[in-house]
Structure formats: structure tokens, C-alpha cells
Structure 1
């Protein structure tokens, strides 16, 4: 059993994956005085985290030395699998009572499976804690966090969560945080498509599209996405806050969850088709707002999707 510092002060942290979201989250934690070791497969990202006050590590295994909490923020299930069970992975070094907190967006079934495997191999508990809010909220400590894990493990991370999020919900056991995130991504992913469609229709009808958030403020069409996301689409701002390819990955996982749950999600299925077209056109690394690009010109391919949905 590895000793820990959690009863006497801030927990010591290992942070693996310091990219678009993990980078600002790690920088915030370092700025708040947490002792932080970081690893990223991209040397440039790791160097940026080190410049913010973290200590670099040579591998995931090396990263967890003396850590109380092991934080993951990775782009895919394959990346999580590699970090945990690959060469020089976490499973070679984890010891109870360390806790793994995975901020990645992955499927509920994957969370349950890898959580069980980690606990069986190391005795360490696994919390799935996907986040929402984007890079700016990550840096400001105002993320929305939904978590699955045991009551004991959740109690041990609450002080950390208070430093990175303003809204936290313990949804249930391991995997249930990811269920909540899948449903949230259904709402977000379909809204990217709907808001892009609204921008293009306003433009095509001769309206100043940028005025719509003011027009609908306090009405039924108002909301955070209308006030924060729509203006970026109207400004044709496609700088990545959330990669389009990641949104497609999430929408595909929504479809998997729907199938395994015995229900249907046709709206998110249509949104996934649109993001599939966007990525096939070579736009996977722009922001999800870039779905607007499908509407440029004479988008007969979109008319076909709309007609097939009503057939």
C-alpha cells in the first residue's frame, strides 16, 4: 500500500493527457499549488504543461510515482487502453489506495470494463468523470463534471473537483458518469447542426444572422448554446474548442448506447451523418462549429439527408 498526502493537504497528482482540455486543467491545478507530474505522448504538449509548473514524466508508469490521484484526459478509448495496459502503462505501477479519475469521453461499457480490470489487477478504484464546458472553462475552473464511482472514491476527490468545476453531480456507480455525458453529447451534437442550419437560413433569407441571439433572448429558443455557440457559427469562427472528429466519435457512442439500451436516437443519428460528411471533406480538426461549411454553396447533399429523414 502506498502512503498518501490526502489527509494532510492537497493530493499529489499524476496527469496524463494534457491537450485541448487536459492542458488548461493541468495548468490551473499547478497554479493552485498542486504537486503535479504530467505525461503526454505529444512532447510539445507535455513541455507546455511543464512550463505551467508541472514536472514531466517519461511514461505513464513513471508519472504515477507518489501520486494520490491519477487523472486521465485522453482522446479515445484506444488511448485510455494503451495508457493503462500498454508498455510502461499505469497497471505496472498503480497501488491502492490510489484512485484513477478519467475525464475522457468514452463509452459506459468501456468505463465499467476497464474499471473492473484495473481494480482486479491493482486494487485501485476507477472514477469516470467526463467534463463539459470547453477549454476556457477548463482554465477558469468552471467545468461541469458528471461522475460515476463508489461513494468512498467520490468523497476522496471532492476537494479536487471544487478546484476545477462549478457543477458536480455524482450520478451513480462507475459508468454512469459516462451515461450522463453521452446524453449531454446527444443534446450538444444535435444543437451544433441545428444552430448551423439556423445561421445559414438567416443568411439566405437576407437577415443579419448575428442578430438572432438578441432576437430570441428570454424566449423559448434562448439558451447557453444560442448565446455562446451560435455567435461563433455566425462569425464563421471554426478555431477548435472541440474537434469535429471528437464530436462524431461521441455521437457514434450515443448510437451504441441507444442500441444497447433498446431505444432509438434518430436526431443524433442525423447529426452524426452530417459530421461524417464534414470529416470526409477533410475538416476533422476544426471546431464543431465548422459543420456550417456543409451549408456553403448549393448543399444538395443536405437536402437529400432531410428528405430521407421524412421518407
Structure 2
């Protein structure tokens, strides 16, 4: 199948490589063209604008930073995907957009309505599993949208995902991702507190992974972040500003739905403190640096 992909970043690039290995033709666009051209050696075709994807592919994937980026890529008056489809007199190939970005459910519902005016189905499909999951092709995808659109996109998504779960109408996938991020961010913050307590108590915090293995506190996050918080030099897997964006979105959804989320609120304040300390671009493991500002790794 010919597909389009906007946003070959830390997550998007390995997802694109899986699509290529699965035999799909992938047309790639990125605001920073170098990132798109880096995938040409893997067989990707570089597009000059998002609008060009509308003529090349029936299915277009997005994996961009935030709702503003999604809106620009899809609805820009000159180069947007939907703009091109509306102006193509029915000749555009694009039929569906799958948005892997993590944005607010309310924004997703608005985008889905606007896309429908251009005869484009919208699937919000945020992912979980991080860079490691994208590289291994084992991502978990939470999907929202019409059942027919989710079913049509699922066989292609399975090139890089172990599981696709249809959660409901447009916005439901994003809500599920917020639930995921509320658990992830709170857990990473708790791991940072545990590491800090261990270090201040004079024990080897790096051994927590071994000591807690198999117990209730054990998890993929524990095994991932204790080593990252107790040593230096690891390749970054994401920036603290991404967590802050997600937790701010969680707070907005909690307000809209009247949901008490005191733990998420506390994590939000820790992330704001991290940004004030100049750690917005630091790796996710920098939670521990917020708790021990005088002991940078």
C-alpha cells in the first residue's frame, strides 16, 4: 500500500522503517527536511509538502508534537492535507488520516469534524511503548474513530504495533492515552522519589531493580528508569517537556470532566519546577534531578 507519514522523529522514524520492511511504499514529509531525507536510504520517498501526500497515499499517518502541529499539517490553507483534498475536485487519493500524536480529546473531535468536510476519515491513535517499542515494532495503539476507519487502518498499523484497541468514537483513543500517561508520569515520579530516598539513606539505589524484581513494585518502568536515574550517558528516550505537555492535557481533561486527580496535579507541579530549573529538554529520567538539584548525574 502507498502511505504517507508526517513526523519522522524519535518515534516516527522506526515506525516508518517497519512500514517499509512490511512492503509498503512510504511518502515522508517533515518540517525539517533533513529528517525526512535521512529515511530515503531505507527506501522512503520524500514529499515536498504535506499536501503532496494527499495525492500520493490513501492513508496518511501523523506523529507530530502537539495539536498546533496537527492543525498546520492537515489544515494549512496552502499546504495542508485536507486543503489539498478539498481542492482536488475529488481526485485526491487520501481517504483516512491516522494521528499518532498525543493531543487533547477535544481537539481531536474538532479535527475529525473538519476532516469529514474533506471526505477524510479520522482515527486518533496515540501509542504507548516509547522509542524501544517503536524500534521493536511492539507498540500498543489506542484508537478512536469510526469502526470502518479503524478496521481499514489496523492491518497497516500492525507493521509496528503488537496491539490495536478500538476505544470508541473520535477522541476516545486520546482519552485512553491520557489514562496511560497519568499512570506513567506518576510512576516515573515515584521511582525518582524511591531512588532519591535510597541514595540519601546510603544504599546503592542501582540495586533496586534487583531487589524489587518480581514484587509488586516491579515493572517495565522500574527496570527502565532506575538504571537511567543512577548512571549517566544513556541515550535520551524523550524530553521532560513532552511529559509536561501530556500532564497539562490531563489536567485540562480532568477539569472538563470534573475528575479529581490530585496525584496528576502534584506531578504537574514537579514538571513545572523542572522547566524552571532548565530541565525541559532533559531526558525523562531528570525527575530525579528535580529532587536532588545539587547532585546532577
Rounded Cα–Cα distance in structure 1 between residues aligned with 2:236 and 2:98 = 25
- Report the counterpart of residue 89 of structure 2 in structure 1: none
Rounded Cα–Cα distance in structure 2 between residues aligned with 1:298 and 1:234 = 14
How does 1:258-269 map onto structure 2 within 5 Å? 258-269=254-265
CA 1:236–1:197: 2 relative to 1, 3 Å:
farther
Give runs of ≥4 in structure 1 deviating > 4 Å.
none
Rounded Cα–Cα distance in structure 2 between residues aligned with 1:222 and 1:135 = 20
Rounded Cα–Cα distance in structure 1 between residues aligned with 2:270 and 2:156 = 37
Rounded Cα–Cα distance in structure 2 between residues aligned with 1:260 and 1:208 = 43
With the length of structure 2 as denominator, give the TM-score of the two structures.
0.93
CA 1:297–1:36: 2 relative to 1, 3 Å:
closer
Rounded Cα–Cα distance in structure 1 between residues aligned with 2:122 and 2:241 = 26
Rounded Cα–Cα distance in structure 1 between residues aligned with 2:47 and 2:158 = 26
Deviation for aligned residue 1:189: 0.9
With the length of structure 1 as denominator, give the TM-score of the two structures.
0.89
How does 1:203-222 map onto structure 2 within 5 Å? 203-222=199-218
CA 1:97–1:65: 2 relative to 1, 3 Å:
closer
8 Å CA contact 1:39–1:60 kept in 2: the answer is yes
Deviation for aligned residue 1:56: 0.4
How does 1:133-172 map onto structure 2 within 5 Å? 133-172=129-168
CA 1:238–1:139: 2 relative to 1, 3 Å:
closer
Match for 2:36 among 40, 46, 58? 46
User: What's the C-alpha RMSD, in Å, of the aligned pairs?
Assistant: 1.6
Deviation for aligned residue 1:298: 5.9
- Report the counterpart of residue 309 of structure 1 in structure 2: none
8 Å CA contact 1:68–1:99 kept in 2: the answer is yes
Where 1:37 maps in the other structure, the secondary structure is strand
How does 1:90-101 map onto structure 2 within 5 Å? 90-94=81-85, 95=92, 98-101=95-98
- Where does structure 1 lack aligned partners over 5 or more consecutive residues? 1-10, 300-311
Say whether residues 1:89 and 2:86 are aligned partners: no
- Report the counterpart of residue 103 of structure 2 in structure 1: 106
- Report the counterpart of residue 183 of structure 1 in structure 2: 179
Say whether residues 1:66 and 2:62 are aligned partners: no
8 Å CA contact 2:59–2:97 kept in 1: the answer is yes
Deviation for aligned residue 1:167: 2.0
Rounded Cα–Cα distance in structure 1 between residues aligned with 2:61 and 2:191 = 33
- CA distances 1:66-88 after superposition (whole Å, capped 9, x unpaired): 30211000001110011111131
